[in-house]
Amino acid sequence: MARLIFFEKPGCAGNARQRALLEAAGHTLNRRNLLEQTWTEQSLLPFLGALPVALWFNRAAPRVKSGEIEPDHLDSGVALALLLADPLLIRRPLMQREDGACLVGFDPVEVERFVGLGAAATGNADLESCARTAPGDCAPR
């Protein structure tokens, strides 16, 4: 099984569900606070890879949900500057294997390819959306 660095937002119910699935599949997680990490272009870009810019963003972030930031209309330079200035905007989780390979988000198909979920996989369940529904529940803590 894999050993992963797992960048999360502490207290995030979605990240807790994701961690539980990975651990049930036998993976070992080195948990880190995504919001306290000092991100640079060089440290963040390996996670974002060749994804479209809009997929770099946490759609549950208050600034995205309010329409202040529209990820679908940003170029990569502006988007990266926003993510570096406000890590709450970064799509979660960020995962890194021991070999340095990186993944952003928790699409079960991609996670299966990345490290394997096996019997822990949940089919078509949405494992990225914020599980909380009250306004402000996904705000920084």
Of residues 12, 102, 130, 138, which has the active-site annotation? 12
Whether 12 is catalytic is: yes
* Beta bridge pairs of residue 4: 29, 97
Extended strands (E) in 57-138: 94-97, 102-104
33, amino acid identity? N
- DSSP-derived 3-state class of residue 20: helix
How many CB atoms are located within 10 Å of the residue 23 CB? 14
- Closest to 97 in 3D by CA, of 117, 118, 115, 79: 115
Give me the active site residues, please.
12
